[in-house]
Structure 1
Amino acid sequence: MHRAPRRRAASRAVATLALAALAAGGLAACADDAAPGTAGTQGATSTGATSDAAVTGRLVVLAAASLEPVLTKLGAELEAAHTGLKIDFSFAASSALAEQVVAGAPADVLLTASAATMKTAAEHVTDQAVFAGNTLVIVTPPDNPGKVANLKDLTNNDLRLALCAEEVPCGAAAAQVIEKAGLKVTPDTYSENVTAALQLAVSDEVDAALVYTTDAKDAGDDVLTIEFPEASTVVNDYLVATVAEAPNAAAAKAFRDLLASERGRSALAEAGFRLP
């Protein structure tokens, strides 16, 4: 707001009154300008330009391997909306990522494929929230060489079978599903994460693998997907949390806001995730 000029002494009252009126008018105009200007400044904090200024730098996101396709897509959209932002994703087994956070690895956001793995890092993260769910399916090479039709077929000892290691969420889910079904299954290999298990089926190195619905959907025609009713007995909840003392808290919040938004939920649903 500019200040009205100091008035010189005038000999005529009319001139004095005129100058006073002009000064008053100038002050009123400044006041009128100030209110919208103040509101505009406050409103600008929610605009893209101001957000871009705040949401910048490097954002480190540690996420379960099964989230790679959908988060890669959402991450690119967030970077496009905030040109000064660079997202570094690390996709791996949830258990390994939680251990990294506990060990003090620099990160801003942690996303796990189970509550159990998030619990490992509970003292090192804040604001935990469930944002999606996932169930298992059987995948085979497209020609289904083992003639698998259902979960019970995985008990065939001649079948080359891959499961995730039991310490990772997809392996824990597989063990629970098999136990609840009252079956005894002996896999030929345990994979470090669900992506690795899926790749064994894609490359025809195994006859079947138990993977998440979302991974099978992303693989498309590279595998044959077989749903089975027992899968509904075990649903893995996916959790997101902000790492305590996150180096880039503003960007972490923007990432989480996108994940929880209508756009984020739509992308998760399209990828095959269940929504809470």
Structure 2
Amino acid sequence: MLIRLGYEIAIECPQPMAVISLLDVNPDRKHDIKRQTKVLTSPHVQSSVYRDGFGNACRRFMAPEGGLRILYDAVVEDSGEPDPLNTLAQETPIQDLPPETLVFLLGSRYCETDHLGDLAWGLFGHLPQGWVRVQAICDYVHNRLSFGYGYARATRTAAQAHDERVGVCRDFAHLAITLCRCMNIPARYVNGYLGDIGVPPDPAPMDFNAWFEAFLDGKWYTFDARHNVPRIGRVVVARGRDATDVPLLHSFGAHKLTTFKVWTYEQDSHPAGPPEHGIDRTLTTPLLA
């Protein structure tokens, strides 16, 4: 399966400022990219890429005063298989966990394990360890929170989402991550592309999605408390402790978001490309390599 994906984002800056974006396809999927543009900016500015402590590709810009437009378009090969299921996967005792997973047991900016520990053990402490417990956490979060784009708030934490019972995909992920960590299951936040492949089309404008991964039986498994069913066509952009580690754009100063468009769909379903998303075809097509 080939997936077309990309974004067009524009910001206004009152003065020149440094910007870091976490918008590149994660390095572990680089070999699946069949065609892509360069990351295009208007006006043209130089950028450089480095890896952060979680292995994400971070791109540095110096945004000029005024407007900056960033555009990317790619075709990625995907297996077309839904998220793997392993209902027999077991938890790893803390003393046997790989050292690099231990940070994903700790509280973080949006995941207050100290606030939700008693709740978690009361709800899930009696359940079988492993996949069954993580799935029960997803079921609880899925039923606890109501999804709506109008509920978005950048400062909402997992405990606040639990109390308010509303949120967007990042809130579902944060709450599920926190409850997993409270149960001594390493869990990490994931941001990426997830199109309407194999499911009815969502009439809402496309967006980046957030889900999470839990460490069971020596590997990371994908879970999604918002959709709560295996999905097809996830393309990871970045992973971290929570949304603090993987902002789409981090500016070192105030900026105003003026354009935000995301597209991700099976290529064969839109063979002519995505003009509905505002791509300038004369700009992108010659740069596909």
TM-score range, shorter chain: under 0.3
Query: Max radius of gyration: which structure?
Result: 1
Hey, which of these two has a bigger chunk of strand by percent? 2
Superposition TM-score, scaled by structure 1 size: 0.23
Hey, which of these two has a bigger chunk of helix by percent? 1
Which structure has more RCO (C-alpha within 8 Å, separation ≥ 6)? 2
